Structure 1
Amino acid sequence: MESVSIETSQALTRKVILPLAALVAGLLVCAVAGIFWVANYQTNVAITQQARLASRALRIQSERLAVSASDYGYWDDAVEAIIDKPDRAWMIENIGAGAHKSLGIDMAFILDPSGQPVFSYLTQIDGAEAKVGVEDPAKLLAPGFTSLYRTWKTGPAAHAYENVIPYADTAAAVAIAPVRSWSDANRPATGYAIVYVSVFGATMLETLARDFELRGLRNVGSPADISNALAVITVSAEGASTRFAWDPQTPGNGLLRIALPYLLVLLTVFGLLAAVMLRHVIASAQIISDRENKAACDPLTALPNRSRFFSELERAIGRLSPDQPRVVVMYIDLDGFKKTNDTLGHASGDALLIEAAARFRACLRASDLVARIGGDEFAIVLSGKADHSLVQLIGARILLSMAQPFELAAGSAQIGCSIGIACTQDRQTSSADLLNRADRALYEAKASGRNTMRFAPDYRLEVEGDMAA
């Protein structure tokens, strides 16, 4: 019998354990390589998205300038003071100093129909001194300005044009708009133009870095600075170029910091278990399977527990699509449970929780998930077609159901509940962040008198957007 047992053990080792060990080892190696690949991919995607954001941040400045230049040019006073009765003092006060004070522009020009300057107002970048004259923007802003002016000159007469072009050792937002009459629609195009320029100096770059979360946004010129920068965008025109860099967010590095310690622990545990598996692989597998099943459920209510809830919520977020456009989370706290537990005893409190779990299930669809997060706190995941009216209906059902008396062995108990609601349409949302938003809404519900529901601010914005659409 002992010989048979040894042969059986050897056969099991050769046919099952060793291939299984090799498979697990291969999977672990693939997992490590996969995590490094995913981390690198996440970082590259994040940098690409930030590069688009950085380019957009620069372009927004020129688009704002175009609107401002159009406002100043589409003005009867401008037609009179620039063309009909040239008034240099008016130009300084309105087109130059006034625009600098109200808009923060660094340069202002007025060009005649032939493109020659008739007025210029220049400030020192990040300074206060102004210089009034007839400087030519084609020379100051070469080479990018010439092509922009040519585009404006050949385009529709009423349109403004803008772009971001290289300037000195940085870049500048430039806008060109026509000077035209507001009241006389029949007056032909004058051919005169207002040019506004904002230079991306240190102050503006600091503002953009703050507003668009582009940490350390700066101009880089030397090859060493460019090669050392992780994130760079280029502004170019007519063969000239300048580059901007920033310190990008690198989510892949964060993933590695979180995952690698666990992987190292996993590899260590695997090495220890490999020796034990020779005799206990089948029993251990059964034990692990039983523990996993138990670990996923709350032992009192038989509802999914906190761990299972987060797993299912992550899956629901990962399934977001046009057919399943949003995931809604309800965070629920029983109002008055502690009083019942203290008055009628812990056994009655347990019975109340079991009955509450049954009532929650009765209020939900088959596709929805309710879990016990801990104590008298529950959480619900609504996925699929969970529009605002359905969310309100389910919330009202829960409030009404929890308000009904609980008939317990030790007596009747009257409780209620408060509900915080949050949602997401973004597959990048983390389950913890979504639950935290619902938790903050729950706090508002409890603060407003309990036995009610409140929506997270982002949920309200989304509903308003749906209604507007």
Structure 2
Amino acid sequence: MMIARKTSSFSAQIVLTILISTFVMAGIVAVVGYAAIEEVDSDAVQREIGFATHGLEAEIARLTEEQKVSTLWDEAVIEVRADNQDWMERNLGVWMQTYYGHDAVYVVRPDDTLLYAALDEKTVRLRPGTRLPAPLAALVQTLRDRMAAANPDPADSTAAIADLDVVETIPLDGGVSVVSVAPIVPTTTRLPQPPGTEFIHISLQNVDTAMAIRIAEPHGLRRASFRTTPPAGGHEIGVPIRDSAGKQLAWLTWTADRPGLRLMHEMIPALALAALFGLGLLVWLLRRLWVSSQQLHRSEAEARFLANHDLLAGLPNRMHFEENLAHALASERQGGPSVTLLSIDLDRFKPVNDTLGHAAGDELIRQVAARLSAQIRSTDTVARLGGDEFGVILLGMAGEETLTAFCAGLLHVLSKPYDLAAGQAHVGASIGVAIAAQIRGGMETVMRCADAALYRAKNDGRGRFRLFTEEMDDVLRQRHEIERDLRAALRADDQLEVVFQPIYDASGALVGAEALTRWPRAPHGAVSPDVFIGVAEECGLIHALGAWVLETACRAAVRTGLPKLAVNVSPIQLRGEGFAAEVLRILSDTGLAPQRLELELTEHFHLDPGQNTRRNLHDLRMAGISIALDDFATGQSLLQYVRDYEIDMIKIDRSFVGRLGQGDGTDEVVRAMLDLGRAMGLEVTAEGVETAHQREILLSMGCRIFQGFLLGRPMDGNRLASLTDDRSGQPLTA
């Protein structure tokens, strides 16, 4: 009996021990699980609050940055002074609403009356003496007080006030708005503004549903909205919007993401099994919880890394780079180290992609990134800004002699051969240098100046670096103006024109004409073809321009009965995958036989030996279109193009024709070209024939086709039609 009682007591103790252990372990699991869930949810809430706060700050900063695109501008000062309402609508008012989404825009005269206003994407007709609402007028006065306190030069306030602005969140018209107030100032010293004569620009962004969506969507904030009352608690959280005095004006609220809570719901069946199967399953559940938590933290770290880095190059991306640059410039203004920006673009990168493949191009980008990283100091920043473009921020290296040595060394390192899996590649680089201390303006201005210097380096022959000067900025702005005007000209179809220079044979018969593009009615006066065609090639307009020229010329050739039409083609067009198909479509639409079309390539440009170029040339020749090589023997390729691209005709450049008969060896060179053409079965045309003497020399050498001012100047389609009425022509006389 005693033994039975002892056994029962022992069993009870074991059962009790097991039960107590089970409950203790269940309690531990519950406590640990709850703590982990709360930590995950708390992290998620804090992360979302950080996203929302950063989004609000970015919205406010964006308003000022977008405003200064147009307020820091010589042309803005000129047109505002002239009360040019149309110009202000296109550049300061309605344009800023339609392009950037600003809700209201005002321009204020020096006497605080309104010069211009735009609401609901429309210019508002203002009565004389109209003034701003009181809250906005107060912000304008605050800016004017700051401008006066900046101790501006009595003759020109620009340098003292260019970086001044007032950004404030205020209650307005029953709602809340973010307002940015800035002076309209020139970017050069050509337009002095005495203190008190400045016009003020105001951009306003309503704190509304549209702003809430812009902030919420990138970060997955659910059911985000603005309201005047704080969040109700529970799953609803928010951040306050305050004015500069700290007064709360509104709340951005949203439904919090609770990943821990979702995880707990998923684990309820597993917890039930843990109660049945004991300690082993409990350990498994704890392990699962740990793994899930680790995965969540890794995902968060990965997301942060991906948001700030370029995976291909392993470098910071443009967003991270611009954040570092803005921080460095702010530090410099407060007495920190000097800031120098390098804008780097690889030369001859595209041929590597086209000839060796995109995998080789990616490998090349990685090797370039590694070389750049090896050249900079730990205090500097290098980033891939996109494509084959890189940026470098140098701290404390503003001396031109030191910079010159550094950039020269960088060019040398980047120009060394690259050993890729697909073969060896030879590329170089061009560098634009902007020393921030020498430039008036913020981050955007410094980056634009570096780009202007890079543009000059490329124009000067590539493979070099250039330090920014104000003249470069003018050149870049002029290029942007030409690009903008050219886009408009292609849409308008009434500024560009095609003229034709006739081509004759030795008997004087008209055998064809070369189509030449002119832009005589550009907004700022006639633009040279060398200029606007170069801009078209750089900005991607060459395809549209080339198609327009070809179609216009083909229609003229059909209308006039021209025996042969020669049209110049850019190597960039030839690289286009569908170029040959587009040419054949134009021929079909216009009715011009392929045998009457000749496409001219020039040796001055590097022809891309990629598959697209070869396929296009093959398809064009198979269709009956002839291929000519213009400016023969002036480039570096000479016979290479003739051999590789199955050229049908070569054109002796005018530089050789102009020196005929001068006894400097030119006659022998031209005779050799003619002999070469005959030996290879090519037609040969002499360009730039301007005197009867030149023609006689060419005739004596066996040349039979001529083009130049002696025979006929470029003419429009009507004159060409009258010229082709008699195709046989009359024999030319000396």
TM-score (norm 1): 0.50
Larger radius of gyration: 2
TM-score, with normalisation over the residues of structure 2? 0.34
Higher relative contact order (CA 8 A, sep 6+): 1
